[in-house]
Amino acid sequence: MSKLTASETIILGIDPGTTIMGFGIIRVQGKQMEFVQMNELILRKYDDPFTKLKLIFDRTLELIDTYHPDEIAIEAPFYGKNVQSMLKLGRAQGVAMAAGLSRQVPITEYLPKKIKMAITGNGNASKEQVARMLQSLLELKSLPKNLDSTDGLAAAVCHFYNQGKPTGAKSYSGWEAFVKQNTGRTSE
Protein backbone atom coordinates (compact mmCIF):
# COMPACT_ATOMS: atom_id res chain seq x y z
CA MET A 1 0.00 0.00 0.00
CA SER A 2 1.23 3.45 -0.74
CA LYS A 3 0.19 6.85 0.42
CA LEU A 4 -2.90 8.08 -1.38
CA THR A 5 -2.90 11.65 -0.10
CA ALA A 6 -0.54 13.91 1.77
CA SER A 7 -2.83 13.82 4.82
CA GLU A 8 -2.90 10.02 5.09
CA THR A 9 -0.92 8.36 7.87
CA ILE A 10 -0.39 4.63 8.40
CA ILE A 11 0.25 3.51 11.99
CA LEU A 12 1.61 0.06 12.84
CA GLY A 13 0.91 -1.04 16.41
CA ILE A 14 2.92 -3.87 17.96
CA ASP A 15 2.37 -5.93 21.10
CA PRO A 16 5.76 -7.64 21.43
CA GLY A 17 6.01 -11.12 22.85
CA THR A 18 8.14 -14.23 22.64
CA THR A 19 5.13 -16.56 22.51
CA ILE A 20 2.86 -14.40 20.34
CA MET A 21 3.62 -11.02 18.77
CA GLY A 22 0.40 -9.18 17.99
CA PHE A 23 0.16 -6.35 15.49
CA GLY A 24 -2.46 -4.08 14.01
CA ILE A 25 -2.47 -1.43 11.32
CA ILE A 26 -4.72 1.58 10.91
CA ARG A 27 -4.96 4.27 8.23
CA VAL A 28 -5.65 7.81 9.36
CA GLN A 29 -7.03 10.51 7.08
CA GLY A 30 -7.61 13.81 8.80
CA LYS A 31 -9.33 12.94 12.07
CA GLN A 32 -10.74 9.62 10.86
CA MET A 33 -9.14 6.22 11.45
CA GLU A 34 -9.80 3.11 9.43
CA PHE A 35 -8.90 -0.50 10.19
CA VAL A 36 -6.40 -2.00 7.74
CA GLN A 37 -5.22 -5.28 9.25
CA MET A 38 -4.42 -7.18 12.44
CA ASN A 39 -2.76 -10.51 12.97
CA GLU A 40 -0.21 -12.29 15.08
CA LEU A 41 3.06 -14.08 14.75
CA ILE A 42 2.91 -17.39 16.65
CA LEU A 43 6.30 -18.14 18.19
CA ARG A 44 5.52 -20.83 20.79
CA LYS A 45 6.46 -23.64 18.40
CA TYR A 46 10.09 -22.48 18.38
CA ASP A 47 12.35 -23.49 21.27
CA ASP A 48 15.39 -21.40 20.40
CA PRO A 49 15.04 -17.83 21.77
CA PHE A 50 17.36 -16.45 19.05
CA THR A 51 15.16 -17.92 16.31
CA LYS A 52 12.16 -16.18 17.90
CA LEU A 53 13.98 -12.85 17.91
CA LYS A 54 14.99 -13.23 14.25
CA LEU A 55 11.40 -14.07 13.31
CA ILE A 56 10.13 -10.97 15.16
CA PHE A 57 12.69 -8.80 13.37
CA ASP A 58 11.90 -10.33 9.96
CA ARG A 59 8.10 -10.10 10.39
CA THR A 60 8.34 -6.47 11.51
CA LEU A 61 10.45 -5.63 8.45
CA GLU A 62 7.95 -7.44 6.23
CA LEU A 63 5.08 -5.40 7.72
CA ILE A 64 7.03 -2.16 7.21
CA ASP A 65 7.94 -3.05 3.63
CA THR A 66 4.34 -4.09 2.81
CA TYR A 67 2.29 -1.36 4.52
CA HIS A 68 4.83 1.50 4.65
CA PRO A 69 3.80 2.81 8.08
CA ASP A 70 4.61 6.42 8.84
CA GLU A 71 4.85 5.63 12.55
CA ILE A 72 5.10 2.65 14.87
CA ALA A 73 3.43 2.45 18.28
CA ILE A 74 4.75 -0.31 20.51
CA GLU A 75 3.63 -1.55 23.89
CA ALA A 76 6.36 -1.17 26.50
CA PRO A 77 7.14 -4.18 28.70
CA PHE A 78 5.40 -3.87 32.05
CA TYR A 79 7.31 -4.28 35.28
CA GLY A 80 6.33 -7.63 36.71
CA LYS A 81 7.73 -9.87 39.40
CA ASN A 82 9.31 -12.32 36.96
CA VAL A 83 12.58 -10.76 35.82
CA GLN A 84 13.21 -13.46 33.19
CA SER A 85 9.85 -12.79 31.52
CA MET A 86 10.53 -9.07 31.51
CA LEU A 87 13.94 -9.61 29.92
CA LYS A 88 12.41 -11.79 27.20
CA LEU A 89 9.73 -9.17 26.50
CA GLY A 90 12.36 -6.44 26.42
CA ARG A 91 14.35 -8.37 23.83
CA ALA A 92 11.23 -8.91 21.71
CA GLN A 93 10.41 -5.21 21.93
CA GLY A 94 14.02 -4.31 21.14
CA VAL A 95 14.22 -6.31 17.92
CA ALA A 96 10.86 -4.94 16.73
CA MET A 97 12.15 -1.42 17.47
CA ALA A 98 15.43 -2.18 15.70
CA ALA A 99 13.50 -3.24 12.59
CA GLY A 100 11.59 0.04 12.61
CA LEU A 101 14.70 2.09 13.27
CA SER A 102 16.52 0.32 10.43
CA ARG A 103 13.81 1.62 8.07
CA GLN A 104 13.80 5.10 9.67
CA VAL A 105 10.21 4.75 10.93
CA PRO A 106 9.57 6.87 14.06
CA ILE A 107 8.65 4.76 17.10
CA THR A 108 6.67 5.67 20.21
CA GLU A 109 6.30 3.28 23.12
CA TYR A 110 3.31 3.29 25.44
CA LEU A 111 2.80 1.65 28.80
CA PRO A 112 -0.02 -0.94 28.84
CA LYS A 113 -2.09 1.21 31.23
CA LYS A 114 -1.80 4.20 28.88
CA ILE A 115 -3.05 2.09 25.97
CA LYS A 116 -5.97 0.69 27.98
CA MET A 117 -6.87 4.17 29.20
CA ALA A 118 -6.84 5.58 25.65
CA ILE A 119 -9.11 2.83 24.34
CA THR A 120 -11.53 2.21 27.22
CA GLY A 121 -11.07 5.11 29.63
CA ASN A 122 -9.90 2.59 32.25
CA GLY A 123 -6.18 1.88 32.72
CA ASN A 124 -7.04 -1.43 34.39
CA ALA A 125 -9.35 -2.72 31.64
CA SER A 126 -9.10 -6.38 30.63
CA LYS A 127 -7.86 -7.57 27.24
CA GLU A 128 -11.48 -8.51 26.46
CA GLN A 129 -12.77 -5.01 27.27
CA VAL A 130 -10.09 -3.44 25.06
CA ALA A 131 -10.91 -5.86 22.22
CA ARG A 132 -14.66 -5.19 22.43
CA MET A 133 -14.11 -1.42 22.41
CA LEU A 134 -11.85 -1.74 19.34
CA GLN A 135 -14.50 -3.88 17.68
CA SER A 136 -17.02 -1.10 18.21
CA LEU A 137 -14.68 1.79 17.28
CA LEU A 138 -13.36 0.19 14.09
CA GLU A 139 -16.53 -1.75 13.17
CA LEU A 140 -14.73 -5.11 13.22
CA LYS A 141 -16.97 -8.02 12.23
CA SER A 142 -15.31 -10.45 14.62
CA LEU A 143 -12.49 -10.71 17.12
CA PRO A 144 -9.54 -13.11 16.93
CA LYS A 145 -9.20 -16.10 19.26
CA ASN A 146 -6.00 -14.72 20.77
CA LEU A 147 -6.20 -11.09 21.80
CA ASP A 148 -2.54 -10.30 21.16
CA SER A 149 -3.46 -8.90 17.74
CA THR A 150 -6.08 -6.60 19.28
CA ASP A 151 -3.41 -5.47 21.78
CA GLY A 152 -1.20 -4.49 18.83
CA LEU A 153 -4.14 -2.74 17.19
CA ALA A 154 -4.83 -0.95 20.49
CA ALA A 155 -1.28 0.45 20.49
CA ALA A 156 -1.90 1.94 17.02
CA VAL A 157 -5.26 3.43 18.06
CA CYS A 158 -3.72 4.79 21.28
CA HIS A 159 -1.07 6.51 19.16
CA PHE A 160 -3.77 8.01 16.93
CA TYR A 161 -5.60 9.39 19.98
CA ASN A 162 -2.37 10.84 21.40
CA GLN A 163 -1.08 12.55 18.25
CA GLY A 164 -0.09 16.11 19.00
CA LYS A 165 -0.52 15.67 22.76
CA PRO A 166 2.30 15.48 25.27
CA THR A 167 2.09 11.84 26.37
CA GLY A 168 5.10 11.10 28.49
CA ALA A 169 5.73 8.27 26.04
CA LYS A 170 9.20 7.70 24.64
CA SER A 171 9.70 8.35 20.94
CA TYR A 172 12.61 7.54 18.68
CA SER A 173 13.10 8.70 15.10
CA GLY A 174 16.27 6.76 14.37
CA TRP A 175 19.35 5.17 15.91
CA GLU A 176 20.89 8.55 16.69
CA ALA A 177 17.82 9.67 18.65
CA PHE A 178 17.65 6.34 20.48
CA VAL A 179 21.32 6.57 21.53
CA LYS A 180 20.93 10.21 22.68
CA GLN A 181 17.89 9.33 24.80
CA ASN A 182 19.47 6.19 26.29
CA THR A 183 23.04 7.20 27.14
CA GLY A 184 23.01 5.02 30.24
CA ARG A 185 22.08 1.95 28.19
CA THR A 186 24.82 2.29 25.59
CA SER A 187 28.59 2.14 25.75
CA GLU A 188 31.29 3.41 23.47
Residues catalogued as catalytic: 15, 75, 148
SS3 12: strand
Cβ-based neighbour number of residue 85 at 10 Å: 14
How many whole angstroms separate alpha carbon 153 and alpha carbon 172?
20
What is the radius of gyration, based on Cα positions, of the chain? Answer: 16
**In sequence order, which residues have a C-beta less than 8 Å from that of residue 141 and are 6 or more positions away?**
none
HEC-encoded secondary structure of 61-82 = HHHHHHHCCCEEEEECCCCCCC
Q: Is 34 annotated as a binding residue?
A: no
112-120 and 148-162 are packed helices; what angle lies between their axes, rounded to 10 degrees? Answer: 80
Contacts 24+ apart (CB under 8 A), 49-52: 49/18, 49/88, 49/91, 52/18, 52/92
Q: Are strands 107-110 and 8-15 parallel, antiparallel or unpaired?
A: unpaired
Q: Is 148 annotated as a binding residue?
A: yes
* Residues of the binding site: 15, 75, 148
- Binding site for Mg(2+): what residues are annotated? 15, 75, 148
